[in-house]
Structure 1
Amino acid sequence: MEQFLQRYLYSWRLNGWLIHDIFLYVILGLGLLLVLFIVIKRKRLITSSILLIIFLLISNFLMIIFGLAGRAFPIKSDSAIYTDDSQSIAVQMVRGSENNGTSNGITHIISHYLLVAVNIETGEKQWTQSSSSKETLIGKFMGGLLIHHRDDEFGQLSLLDMTTGKEILSEKEFRQQHQPLIDVLSNGAQQMVALENNLYLEGVDGKFYRYDGKTLSEEPKAKDYLSARFFIEASLPGYFATHQQPVEDDQAINNFSQAVLTEPAIQAYQNLEPKVIDVDIAQKTAIVSYRKTQRESADHILLLYDMNKHQIIWEENIGIINQEQQQPGVRILENTYVIQAGDRLVVLDKETRKKTVHYHLRWNRPID
């Protein structure tokens, strides 16, 4: 009951999710009109009082049913976690799923997309921005966050300031200033990757290119980079957000991941669905996730495994992850681990593993 009341109170605040905020604006707008009507028609006190009571009852009922207070709204990461140069702001695209009812045995799900920036030093919201399924975060490039927009047969790009959420370059400005890149750009975001301040891509002409922000040149190795990214991130989503170096061969990384899962210390969790979510080949370490029990609603545990020592270095409970996401996403920074755990964003201090940030992505506010 206490948790429901908290969600109910949060639902009366603007939180960045477009459908929720529009709904709240409509209710508040109708409330304001009713108050103005009551002020103007002061002589009809009984009628005005009845209208006010009816409005309060209906508006509260609607917020409970449709305002995301009483409805399931599981959130899933829709991109890797990216950070600014100072590693103080984490930006990610997330997707919220809303059940819109069932007809003929088919459940209809409405998806809502949001860009969320969290200050991982203060734990507060930095900014939010409504997005869509046609937009994909490519990564850091040219001093901002590069976004790909599917535009029918052709693709477009824009550049976002990670500190403010404002556009450094709109789609139109990007097209004007970087026309050679746009001319070969495909509408498929999976055909490009941003690594070490270079953009590697397959053009619509079938050739492979490298773009450094000024010059577009053919780069045959881009084919291997894109292929390796596809196979690596199929099992390690967001790997290249942390590990920026180009990779031509994914086999070593995949073999290392499989070797970790065969270690006796990890095999002990075999019935709890252990999964490697990040590896560091140079350090020979891996981050593994598993459920505390076999229940789907069980807490998830993260552990750091050292293949040199063949032992677990640390374990940490990061809480429940909803069934939309199933597995946590992780971004490894210099001093912290930034973890996207379904509805929540958690920041762990590397040295102490204490939670320095616990942020709710549904309500876009820190969790008390």
Structure 2
Amino acid sequence: MPAGLIRLLLVEDSPVALALLQRIFRDVPDMEVVGVARNGHEALALIPAVKPTLICTDLHMPKMNGLELTEEVMARFPCPILVISASVQAEDTQTVFRILEAGALDIFPKPRTGLASEYEKARTNLLAKVRVLSGVTVFTHRRRSAATATPSLPPQPAGSINTQINTSTPRLLAIGASTGGPQALLAVLQPLPKTLPVPIICVQHISSGFLQGLVNWLDSSCALRVTIAAPGDTPQPGVVYFPPERHHLEINSSGQMVLSQGAPVAGHCPSVTVMFKSVAAHYRRQAVGVLLTGMGRDGADGLQALALAGSLTIAQDEASCVVFGMPKEAIALGAAQQVLPLNAIAPYLLNRIF
């Protein structure tokens, strides 16, 4: 068997969806489907024999659903899990994000047959995500949310990063994240009180259809109010804002939120860098920027703009990232004044800033 081969276990009760997934992964040189299961029970029985590199699971299945399977896998056979689901309604996405809280790494909309161009785009995106997630190391303790962990890890040494900390009173907190972001956002936002004296604006790269579920999940899990921004809103203290799907979020000269369907930046709309740069232009030294886990480099240039404007900048450290892409790029630019493990970011914000 070739070294580095990604061994896939597909868990899907729909014959049509299963056939489509098998078609997507067929003849991909670095991937092999080593097992298929119709529900969680069948998957658990297969895992010891097929030893998957990555499990792709549906959400709704008979006998044992995706959430129950994830909990069992993370307790018994820790393995990267990608949720491939058609559940984009709010009530279903609540369950999807509970799966992420239980230890699954990411979500992806279930591919559909249709226009050839749409199928090829979905196939390309799915293969790229599988390649990234297959290299992630997971542990049994990921069965519980990272937000419940006790902050004990020390900050990562900043090396050549400028560690002179801005002591200006912040007026806004801006956060960017991608792969692994929902879990990381929960860990950062959940400890913050509803009396937080500043607003928070966030950009999270997420598959189409899942944003409202993310917002609802965070809103029900945090003391802060979490909502989707509306054009012209002025950010209010104690409220967390996300841009609507496929919209950049910026702050104009009057301090209002501007939402636009502009061209992707660093491959993304919304873009973390677009948000960070607008915050740097308006708030200057009176902002805090936090860049969390994610693949690619979106947010790195934006965090550098914040640092150059005098804002406090924080990047998540490598050990606690699902994917150390975006923070790594920002650190390489010298844009992060603090490099912190995920479970130390909220305590740092509360104890040192707010």
**TM-score bucket (shorter structure):** under 0.3
Bigger proportion of residues as helix: 2
**Larger CA Rg, structure 1 vs 2:** 1
Normalization by structure 1: what TM-score?
A: 0.26
Normalization by structure 2: what TM-score?
A: 0.27
